[in-house]
Structure 1
Amino acid sequence: MILLESTIAGIVPLIPKIWHSQFNHEKDDQRESHVMRSSQQHIIESVNDWLTASQQVWLCTILKTWGSSPRPVGAMLACNSQGELVGSLSGGCIEEDFLEQLKDGSLKERYNAEGGPFVIEYGVTEAEQARLKLPCGGQLHVLLESIEPSSENRAVFVELVQALQNHSRVSRRVDLATGVLSVHSVDAGSDAASSTLEMDCDDSKLESVEVGGGVMVHRLSPVYRLLLLGAGDVARYVAEMAIALEYEVTLCDPRPNYLDHWSVNGVEVSTSLPDDLVRSKFSNPYSGIVALAHDPRVDDMALMEALKTDAFYVGAMGSERTSAARRERLPELGLSEEEIQALHAPIGFSIGSKTPAEIAIAVMAEITAVRYGRRQ
């Protein structure tokens, strides 16, 4: 094992090559390849499938919330002409109310009277809050759309699906007067017709839906990816929590013997060289990289590449002493002071955690805070 702390200036530039020679795999061992989809992506894909099958679709989107709300702004519920549902707006009571109005025809009557999409206000009175079992003071405004299986609407949802599957951010735009749909792909750049609402696709901004100028813009993000370096108990618990939070998780460890007893359902396991994997799959703003190996050959190989990317989070586990030593040697691997400043180390919130599960809680709490702009 090569100890980086003891390297001399002439050897340091060769370290990546030495690592690659030590972990030289003729064929990458990948297990349980799994494509994770966020709940939003699942709904968009379902609507696309229904429109392709020439079914009319009702789509509900939460525009605003007040007080306690069971679901955030941007949450969606879709229903096809056969009564199939995907998504949710609440714990179930609002869904039941929606289905009842759909069944008795009152929704269709109101849609025809409005001439396009309209907003339903839930929880305006205390009596309605009690009837719908909304949390105390909870109110929400829901936009209701009736989407016909026209070629134009099908094209919109095909584009949305493709953008999300390609891991690109995209906005769905609805003309509130006519119901006409359009798409804006932020990663593709802007044009003169693009509104400032469409351009703002920063996920650190919690409100994913904005209304202005007679249009609704719903920012849709691809599923977030999390790369964990080093098979161990902390990685196991982090992976389980991340899966529950709708991350697409990959565990990478180029040391095959460390993987003999490591497995988490829904997690892709790879023995690729960490720097190669970061470059190929985890370099965009929807990626997080977490070094948990306690082995500089693995952790630093990933970090020297990860800190040069647009990943929203890069962190490394270790004590204050270990983290300080790592920061001292990273410049020798070609990283600037500014790049090193982006490293979260020691990783996680300070909550007094001691067990692997407690450490994982601290790690995922910090990752969540960074993702939503609550911590730099």
Structure 2
Amino acid sequence: MDAVDYQVLKSAADWLQQGKRVALVTVVRNWGSAPRPLGSLFAITDDGGFTGSVSGGCIEDDLMQRFAAAFPERIEVVRYGISAEQMQRFGLPCGGTLELVIEPLHDAVALKPLLDAVANHRLVQRRLNLRSGHVSIEATDADFSLRFNEEELLQVFGPRWRLLIIGAGQVSEYLAQMAPALDFSVYLNDPREEQRRNWHADDVTWLDGMPDDAVLAFKPDRRTVIVTLSHDPKVDDMALMEALKTDAFYIGAIGSMASSEARKERLLQLDLSPDQIARLHAPIGLAIMSRSPAEIAVSVLAELVMLRNRGSVAATPSGCAIGGPDLRIVERP
């Protein structure tokens, strides 16, 4: 889950506790070049407070003007960018069209299970009945972010990706601080006691044991990323020995071109096939001329986001029916 969207939910709960009226806006369909991905959130209050984004700002401005005149009382499905005039007015790029669900919120307590689950790195799904407004929240292992049809909006919240870092150092600290904003829950293993004592980043789950045992216990799957950053072959190679046998989405190791070639030679001696070793991303990260630990962390995350986006297939939402007592589709003029 995007960190911005978590903040939207948290702000909405805070506003509700203050007695304000709050509407939650969710991007549920898009066509063309969409400025924000499916599931993006925007919250607005009856006194003009807002947070989040569903576009570059133009759609938010229109929503705020309309809500100032008449705050929504029931669930609506709203479509922007239908005509050439609308696209010019709202500034949607390349003929883009957005469909939004506008949901009046009523109770901060109803958001608490959702916020608690996300804060504790648990994956949950929120099911909204578009006609009755009934909401349920339940645990899930779903690998999608959003599903939408004429009956309900089903959205997954929480970190849908896991990042296992082997080696506690400066690059690891920066990576651990940045990754949660990109939908990763972060785990760390380093058997060296002195490295653990000098770790400073928060919100990381430590895994005990030697790196190979930690990888096996972690049970990597296709939404798992494993990176070895210790610079110590005795530590990194132990993790890679097991990681390269798994279904992990991405496995990377820090080091120069020369050290990467030497590592591959060592891995051939550890019962790994050439095909398994070929899965290793080394040197790790995009080539952005990074030098500092923070820059290296940025290059690693940039590569992860690039590969994740390239490999993802957005589900095609089904159409939405017009009508029903609590559901309206409004094509904004």
- Report the TM-score when normalising by structure 2: 0.71
Cα shift at 1:285: 6.5
2: CA distance, partners of 1:360 / 1:338: 28
Give the 3 Å change call, closer, same or farther, for CA 225–210 of structure 1 in structure 2.
closer
- Where does 1:36-75 land on structure 2 (aligned, <5 Å)? 38-75=3-40
Counterpart in the other structure of 1:79: 44
1: CA distance, partners of 2:106 / 2:179: 36
Cα shift at 1:327: 2.8
Give the 3 Å change call, closer, same or farther, for CA 329–368 of structure 1 in structure 2.
farther
What are the Cα deviations for residues 181-224 of structure 1, in whole angstroms up to 9, with x where unaligned? 1123214xxxxxxxxxxxxx215xxxx32223511111223274
Tell me the SS of whatever aligns to 1:136.
Answer: helix
User: Once superposed, what is the RMSD of the aligned Cα atoms?
Assistant: 4.2
Tell me whether 1:297 sits opposite 2:222 in the alignment: no
Give the 3 Å change call, closer, same or farther, for CA 257–49 of structure 1 in structure 2.
same
Unaligned runs of 5+ in 2: 313-333
Counterpart in the other structure of 2:265: 325
Give the 3 Å change call, closer, same or farther, for CA 307–168 of structure 1 in structure 2.
farther
Counterpart in the other structure of 1:140: 98
Tell me whether 1:164 sits opposite 2:122 in the alignment: no
Cα shift at 1:139: 1.3
- Where does 1:1-376 land on structure 2 (aligned, <5 Å)? 38-105=3-70, 107-108=71-72, 111=73, 116-149=74-107, 154-155=109-110, 157-187=111-141, 201-203=142-144, 208-212=145-149, 214-222=151-159, 224-230=161-167, 242=179, 245=182, 247=184, 275=211, 287-304=224-241, 306=243, 312-317=249-254, 319=257, 321-331=261-271, 343-348=279-284, 356=291, 363-372=300-309, 374=311
**Equivalent residue letter for 2:88:** A
2: CA distance, partners of 1:281 / 1:232: 21
What are the Cα deviations for residues 73-96 of structure 1, in whole angstroms up to 9, with x where unaligned? 110001234433221111212111
**Does the 8 Å CA contact 1:37/1:223 hold for their aligned counterparts?**
no
Give the 3 Å change call, closer, same or farther, for CA 237–169 of structure 1 in structure 2.
closer
Cα shift at 1:304: 4.9
**Equivalent residue letter for 1:181:** V
**Does the 8 Å CA contact 1:234/1:356 hold for their aligned counterparts?**
no
- Report the TM-score when normalising by structure 1: 0.64
Between structure 1 and structure 2, the one with the greater Rg is: 1
Tell me the SS of whatever aligns to 2:262.
Answer: helix
**Does the 8 Å CA contact 1:117/1:146 hold for their aligned counterparts?**
yes
Cα shift at 1:172: 1.3
2: CA distance, partners of 1:135 / 1:98: 18
Tell me the SS of whatever aligns to 1:91.
Answer: coil
Percent identity reads 35
